[in-house]
């Protein structure tokens, strides 16, 4: 169990995973998210800066929610965030669809290769075993 200070209010709390806010601040943040979500649903083509100003939310927090895919820009919007891999403008998340596919294929190929290498090592290991003469 790890005890740490809350980044929101400064109080100590038991950090169970990677959270940086205490349960009270997390609840307040969830309420703030619902306000932002409602505002965005009512005003779909409003710039992010206006959303931040009207809902009294920081741009940093809005960008975090967009990266987490909790919020998204309207289809056809000129606003967006850059893909962390290629820089292409995307409406939500960290990576564009093309980069997601490339990353998934790379990961799959890495996962497939060790299985082949293990089989080869077993064959070599059988040849290198010590044998006894009867």
Q: Which residues contact 75 (CB under 8 A, 6 or more apart)?
A: 91
User: Is pLDDT at 87 greater than 60 in this prediction?
Assistant: yes
The verdict on residue 25 lying in a domain is yes
- For the ranges 2-6, 48-52, 116-120, which has the lowest average pLDDT? 116-120
In a domain, 117, yes or no: yes
**134 within domain boundaries:** no
Q: Is 70 left (phi over 0), alpha (psi -120 to 50) or beta?
A: alpha
pLDDT computed for residue 89 by the predictor:
86
In the chain, beta strands by DSSP E:
2-5, 12-15, 81-82, 89-90
> Among residues of the chain, what percentage have pLDDT more than 90?
26
Closest CA to 92 of 107, 79, 105, 106: 79
Residue 50 within a domain: yes
Q: pLDDT at residue 134 above 90?
A: no
Tell me which residue of 91, 51, 57 sits closest to 73, measured CA to CA.
91
Per residue in 30-78, pLDDT (tens digit) is 999 999 999 988 887 788 889 899 999 999 999 899 889 888 877 777 6
Compute the average pLDDT of residues 111-130: 62
Tell me, what's the pLDDT at 40?
87
Is the CB of residue 80 less than 8 Å from the CB of residue 67? no
Q: Quick one: tokens of 50?
A: 């206006």
Q: Which domain covers residue 53, as residue numbers?
A: 21-127
Q: What does the alpha-carbon distance between residue 30 and residue 100 come to, in Å, rounded to a whole number?
A: 28
- DSSP code for 74: P
- Give me the number of domains the chain comprises: 1
The answer to whether residue 99 is domain-embedded is: yes
Residue 106 lies in a domain: yes
Q: Is residue 36 part of a domain?
A: yes
Domain presence at residue 61 = yes
């Amino acid at each position: 169990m790890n005890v740490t200070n809350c980044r929101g209010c400064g109080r100590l709390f038991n950090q169970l995973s990677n959270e940086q806010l205490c349960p009270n601040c997390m609840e307040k943040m969830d309420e703030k998210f619902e306000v932002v979500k409602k505002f965005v649903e009512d005003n779909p083509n409003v710039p992010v800066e206006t959303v931040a100003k009207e809902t009294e939310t920081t741009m940093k927090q809005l960008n975090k929610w967009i990266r987490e895919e909790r919020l998204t820009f309207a289809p056809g919007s000129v606003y967006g965030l850059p893909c962390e891999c290629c820089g292409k403008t995307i409406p939500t998340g960290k990576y564009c669809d093309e980069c997601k596919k490339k990353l998934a294929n790379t990961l799959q190929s890495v996962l497939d290769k060790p299985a082949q290498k293990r089989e080869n090592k077993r064959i070599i290991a059988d040849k290198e075993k010590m044998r006894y003469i009867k």
